[in-house]
Amino acid sequence: MRLAEVISYIVDKPLEPVSENLLVNRTTEIRNLNNIIKHHPMGIFGVAGETGIGKTTVLNFIGCDNVFSRRITLTFRESVESILYDLLYNLSKNLESDEKLSKQAQKIKEWVAEEVSTVKGFSLGISLYGSAGVGTQKAQTPRFNFFVAKEKLMDLIKEIVTVKGKFVLFIDELDKESKDDVLKIVDTLKNELVFENVILIMTLPYSIYREYKQETWKMSLRT
């Protein structure tokens, strides 16, 4: 047996759909999430649980017929503006391979890359490009054109829904971020991704979900 095959048996990683026979005790969760996707006209939903419990595996098994879906990971989160730009960049990059959406997606990706291209002599988009080691100087957050970015995101989402119908966006790996980062991301997404025929499903550590729920409840009492 080759080393790669041996490693595949001993490394703990999320199950893929081809390993469906190995997934147990998650039928109810998967059915509930598929029902949310199928029946809710819009909304933002969290899959909460401790790191390693199987949230990503559950996402891998979600899928409704005739519902277009994409999955992204957000890593550029210094500010609300940078989260929006990271979302816009990663979503458009993910859509480049789609024949009907590639033209608009390419334009938006290039616009975001140009907006955050160079500060202090090296690219700020380390997380956007996935190229660590570009420079050693401390990054300074540029002035993002926040309102134009919002408009471009709205235009892209509308185009997706027009071309594909209902759209599900999965945002994974948030359980590996700090509490403050996750709360910032959740608040940003809540404000920017509420569209008809758009469902957002993200993974969250249960501790942060519980705290966020309590804070929301307290705020509702104060108002």
Q: Can you tell me the distance from the alpha carbon of 82 to that of 181, in angstroms, rounded to the nearest whole number?
A: 12
Give the per-residue pLDDT at 188.
86
CB atoms within 10 A of CB 138: 7
Task: Work out how many domains the chain is built from and give that number.
Answer: 2
What confidence tier does 50 reach under pLDDT thresholds 50, 70, 90? confident
What is the value of pTM for the model shown? Answer: 0.74
Q: Round the average pLDDT of the chain to a whole number and report it.
A: 77
For 92-127, how does the pLDDT look when each residue is reduced to its tens digit (9 = 90+)? 999 999 999 999 999 999 999 888 775 433 344 444
For residues 139 and 186, state if they share a domain.
Answer: no
Asked whether the CA dihedral 10, 11, 17, 21 is positive or negative, the reply is positive
Is 2 a member of any domain?
no
Percent of the chain past pLDDT 70, that is, above it, reads 70
For residues 57 and 100, state if they share a domain.
Answer: no
β-strands 43-48, 198-204: how paired?
parallel
Q: Are 49 and 174 in contact (CB under 8 A)?
A: no
Between 168 and 137, the more confident residue is 168
Is 160 a member of any domain?
no
Is 43 a member of any domain?
yes
Is 10 a member of any domain?
no
Name the residue range of residue 41's domain: 17-67+166-223
Comparing CA positions, the residue from 109, 117, 112 lying closest to residue 134 is 117
